[in-house]
Amino acid sequence: MYSRREFLGQAALVTSSMLLNPSAAAYTARNKPFLGMEGPQTDYRLLDGGIPEALDLVREKAKLNYVFPFVYAYNRNYLVAWPPNQKYYKDTCIKMEYDKKFFGPADYLGRLCQEADKRSMQVGATLFPCKGITPGLKRLVNYESILEVDISGERTGSVCFNNPDFKAHYFGMLRDLFENYPVIGSMYGSEEGGPLFRLLKHRKKPTCFCQHCLNYAKDSNIDAARARKGFKELIELFGRGTRGGAENVQELPDYERLPRPLDGFFVEFLRIVMRYPDVLSWNHMWHQHQLNLQKEMWRVIKSIDDTRLVGNHLWHRGLFDPLMRAEEDYKELLGYTDFFRPAVFSHAAGSRYLENVSALAQTIFGDLTLEETNTVMYRLLGYSNQGTVEQIKNQRFGIDYVKAELNRALGNVQGRAKIFAGVAAGHYTDWSDKTAQPQQVIEDIRAAAESGVDGILMGTAKPELYNAIGEGLKSVGWI
């Protein structure tokens, strides 16, 4: 294991111009891999099994040195894993309190850091300000005031990252966390897509049209009225009579199709976005708000301690969508992140990939059959053929998929940020009862090592598969 300072200290020497320009900073691979695990199973296990016992299992069986539990997350049954110091939130109406009923009276994060230190382990912070109106989000006082506004003027279930009160709260939370706890760093994740993604996949009304975003659009020369008109035409084209991407891949053969327009769905889609380019600008603006948040996170955390790591999780479902790929470019965060963690959960890949295939086959690829869309998507995403729709419903993707995603990440960063593979060893097949098997866990770790990544930051890991994780790490010489 290596410390925060050793992590950055092993970087190649940089010139003074690089120090002045964060985007020029470069990190080189090191021989000692990063071996860690994210939640949710980590934090659930830590709660249910007791912190000392759970850390012993992770360290002794899985042979991992780092745990990254969800310490601030809207998609949990809690919001924050430490007692907030209210002085950090005086500039915002958004307040939060520690859930003693969930964690008990003791400082959960503080105790976790203490117990980890006794075992020569370190704790990172997974931060997930996403996932709609969930139990975690509802624990924010005045959360309604920071929700996005849709095209009809109604509040939605997602937070607006451009809202000043949200940003004041969020950056206050970062200072509260990093000034008071010895966490090695953060991993940010926002498992939500922009307005086009949500319209095409879930038939949700486009966002965000709050006053803050309207002002931002005006300053950026984006015409809100034309964006609205374009979105409404897309809703008219794709929104009637369909339910969006399949909520259960078992239903895929019965997915609903609209009557084909005279010139076809794809041509009509292009016609609308060419006539109303502000639709694409509005979609890009949504992603720009998230990018701005990520860059400011870097500045806030590094101003507190420049040895703390700042990392970004790449959403599993997002990696299967061309629109998300186009917007979430690795290169845009270079200089503002120490590592990327692409999620490559092979045994959940089939069901999640098919969600996107189904959505696209009912919208912009509506001129094609579901199977034809499947074939096209393999080519667009750079994957080898993983099988027909029927074959991949309940089966894992092969290790060539894992290597393809990790090689794409490595090729994009060119050594200027580290890549930690987000392989998984847990119950992540959303629509079936299949779980990861020991041999698959070992194969995925081997694929990650063969790709040349800088380590792993596991996703959900079931304790009964910890031995397989350790065996996989041993087989590639990482322990």
Q: Is 217 helix (H, G, I), strand (E, B) or coil?
A: helix
pLDDT of residue 351: 87
The residues facing 80 across adjacent strands are 72
What average pLDDT does the segment 289-318 reach?
A: 97
pLDDT for 127-162, tens place per residue?
A: 998 767 777 788 888 999 999 999 999 999 899 999
Distance between CA 468 and CA 240 in Å, rounded?
A: 48
Q: Which of 192-196, 334-338, 427-431 has the highest mean pLDDT?
A: 334-338
- Predicted local distance difference test score (pLDDT) of residue 31: 62
Q: Hey, is 171 helix, strand or coil?
A: helix
pLDDT value for 419 = 98
What would the mean pLDDT of 77-102 be, rounded to a whole number? 92
pLDDT band at 40 (very low <50, low <70, confident <90, very high): low
Residue with the two structure tokens 């847990």 = 426
Give the per-residue pLDDT at 78: 85
Taking the C-alpha atoms of residue 138 and residue 19, their distance in angstroms, rounded to an integer, is 41
What digits encode the pLDDT tens for the residues 267-292? 999 999 999 999 999 999 999 999 99
Q: How confident is the model at residue 43 (pLDDT cuts 50, 70, 90)?
A: low
Tokens 């790709």 found at: 451
Q: How confident is the model at residue 176 (pLDDT cuts 50, 70, 90)?
A: very high
Mean pLDDT of 387-409: 93
Task: Choose among 226, 228, 237, 227: nearest CA to 200.
Answer: 237
pLDDT of residue 372: 96
Nearest to 58 by CA among 366, 376, 466, 398: 466
Q: What is the mean pLDDT of residues 253-259?
A: 56
